[in-house]
Amino acid sequence: MRNRISLLIIVSICLVYAQVVGAAEQKEEVSLEQLLNISLRELMDVEINLASRSGEKQFKSAAAVYVLTSEDIRRSGYRRIPEILRLIPGVNVAKQDANKWAVSIRNSQTRFSSTLLVMVDGRHVYTPYYAGVYWESVDTFIEDIDRIEVMRGPDGTLWGANAVDGIINIVTKQAADTQGSKAYGTLGVGEMKSEAGFRYGGETRNGANYRVYAKGYNTDSGEYMGPGESTNTDMALAGKNANDEGYSRQAGLRVDWGSNRDTYSLQGSFYNARVEEDRFVTPARVPSEILSDGHNGSFKWVRKYSDSESLMFHTFYNQITRDNSVLLNDEATVEFDFQHNFRINKQDITWGMGYVLYKNKTSINDVSNCSFAMPCFSVDPANKDLTTWSTFIQDRINFSDKFAFIVGSKFEHNDYTGFEYQPTIRGLWTPDDRTTYWAAATRAVRVPDRLNTDGALNQGGPIFPIGDKDLESFINFTYEAGARKNISSTWIADGTLFYSDYNNTVDNFVTIPVEDVYGFEGYLKYQYNPKLKLELGYTYNEGDQENGSSSNIPLIRLPQNTIKFRSYYDLKNDMDLDLFIYYVDESKGRTGEPTIPAYTRVDLRYGWRASNRFNLSLLLTNMFDDVHAEAIDPIKINTGVKRGAMMTLTYNLDN
């Protein structure tokens, strides 16, 4: 009954909001047809690189792709990247505490989603230690994000192992587009206590464009929940502020230069952060903290011979050090990536090579605190180097302007499982400029990680291995079919059906023989007029697990039904009113029991561009709910998402 009421509330709010705002706008005697066509044409022509690595129109891509623009990000008012990702249809974002998120596509709702590849300007932020992403450490100057590209489904053919269920690439703006000075400050409760940042961009005498930035924030705490929605079994008093606040400080730079033929980009950043958390060792709650710092750098060179041929070389270095009060973990990754795109008659060919070196060093802070009764988690051996060599090729055969066939594969060698291959076959049919149909069959691989292969318990000297050094690769066979339709000058629809067959899956040191996941992802965009834009997204996700006795146990790792509604309304030329509604179905465990109840979250943002220099944004989050849980961590106490508010003031010094 609660789920039905929540669904009814969402639908009612959406309809009433659209009718009230639409009725007000019907009084305007303005011809809108030409403006609407221009807007939708621009939307259809947005370029995305994830599906082909060479740039193609999002509307005519043979994959389930989505682009979140800088305007979408600005109008959301969100200040953390995982919260921004919450806007995207088909991306599941669940907050575990004030500083940790479970972000996933199609597969399990865990903090470290091992089948999701995440990049910032092509630099991988996926860690081979946990097989996942430290989302609390993924950050940049939010106002400098140009777009976020998302591909739902596998594409290991181009991006390699771990691109099993999806890829996210956060693309920042060119330095030439961020000239001048900008400063901002945020005050809030519920999510962000305070945040401030400054960025300056300029141009050298030699024509190189650059920018530098610095920022920092302090997060508010979550709220302890009861046993029905949390791993808190009366270890902490429900309703009280939780021990999960945090802070981060970051600075970075970008330099772009070159000519029409050769372009170069140099980037780097460093950060320092601290987050509090509660581990639980039944029946006790153990307050703890994670100290982390890191730095990274990347260099990219692109040579363009013509519109159909180019070379690209990209190298980056990424270093992370984390101390969770028990284990000091240092990770360093160096990657080299080469790519060549060219055309032969009706064939667009992309091929390339890559090399990755991963170095990991760990140490227990104080072995005397480890015992047989209270062992310390570690890895054995404590230090390890891993290398991966790869090459790939993909051929797009354009039979005509309407039909294309895409085939390719990636070939890799890693130190865990040796040789791996990841082929794909895709078909594309565009009968007219307003319609796209596509289908794909792909084999993707996720290689084992340090945690599941080398995991060990240190008992104060004796080390007991709990990992499996003979693990095989996690293999996924996915079959997809999708369609996009520009229904009219005011409507665009996109839908994808998928079925994934997983093999050799590993979760918390337990091997699951077979797991099937299938479902639907879709969204509908509607532009009533230049002042009112609406988007409605829906995701259905279902799965089955086969145990050793060959009987099926219902398995719904992700919520079965997710609805996302987004509305942008221009009150005036200088005022915005934006509404965001999320309905998330209950999450269930492996035996079908609910672990997180269904919830409805409503966020509202008001924006005012007072002048060319000064902007104000007021965001209210979780408006109609005091607190709700979104995700559970098996070894830590998850906390609730509270009602919150944030006010952000932005000042452009040079306008």
pLDDT of residue 553: 37
DSSP string spanning 78-93? --SHHHHHTTSTT-EE
Query: pLDDT tens across 451-510, in order?
Result: 889 988 888 878 888 888 888 888 999 999 999 999 988 899 999 999 999 887 655 444
Tell me which H or E stretch contains 20.
helix 2-25
pLDDT of residue 4: 44
Domains annotated for the chain, with CATH where assigned, are 2-652 (2.40.170.20)
Q: Rounded distance, CA 51 to CA 62, Å?
A: 7
pLDDT of residue 637: 85
Instruction: Name beta bridge partners: 353.
Output: 338, 391
pLDDT of residue 30: 36
Query: pLDDT tens across 610-629, in order?
Result: 988 999 999 999 999 899 98
Query: pLDDT tens across 109-134, in order?
Result: 777 778 899 999 999 998 888 888 89
DSSP string spanning 455-486? EEEE-SS-EEE-S-TTPPPEEEEEEEEEEEE-
Q: Rounded distance, CA 425 to CA 442, Å?
A: 6
pLDDT of residue 638: 86
CB 268 within 8 A of CB 298: yes
Q: Please state whether the peptide bond connecting residue 283 to the residue before it is cis, i.e. omega within 30 degrees of 0.
A: yes
pLDDT at 397 over 70: yes
pLDDT of residue 17: 44
pLDDT of residue 16: 40
Q: What is the mean pLDDT of residues 263-283?
A: 88
**β-pairing verdict for 116-120 and 123-124:** antiparallel
Query: pLDDT tens across 381-396, in order?
Result: 999 999 999 999 999 9
pTM value is 0.90
Tell me which H or E stretch contains 649.
strand 644-652
Mean pLDDT taken over the chain: 86
Which of the residue ranges 37-41, 183-187, 192-196, 621-625 would you say has the lowest mean pLDDT? Answer: 37-41
pLDDT of residue 604: 97
Q: What is the mean pLDDT of residues 345-369?
A: 92
Query: pLDDT tens across 413-451, in order?
Result: 999 999 999 999 999 999 998 999 999 999 999 998 888
Query: pLDDT tens across 505-560, in order?
Result: 655 444 444 478 899 999 999 998 888 999 999 999 987 654 433 333 334 468 88
Residue 561 — very low, low, confident or very high, per pLDDT cuts 50/70/90? very high
Which of the residue ranges 138-152, 355-369, 582-596 would you say has the lowest mean pLDDT? Answer: 582-596
Q: Percent of the chain at pLDDT above 90?
A: 58
Q: Please state whether the peptide bond connecting residue 227 to the residue before it is cis, i.e. omega within 30 degrees of 0.
A: no
Backbone φ, ψ for residue 15 (5° rounding): -70, -45
Residue 592 — very low, low, confident or very high, per pLDDT cuts 50/70/90? low
Q: What are the residues whose beta carbons fall under 8 Å from the beta carbon of 384, sequence distance 6 or more?
A: 359, 360, 450, 454
pLDDT at 108 over 70: yes
Q: Percent of the chain at pLDDT above 70?
A: 88
pLDDT of residue 304: 94
pLDDT at 11 over 70: no
Q: What are the residues whose beta carbons fall under 8 Å from the beta carbon of 450, sequence distance 6 or more?
A: 128, 129, 130, 360, 379, 384
Q: Rounded distance, CA 175 to CA 265, Å?
A: 9
Nearest in space to 101 (alpha carbons), one of 86, 89, 115: 86
Q: Rounded distance, CA 475 to CA 501, Å?
A: 8
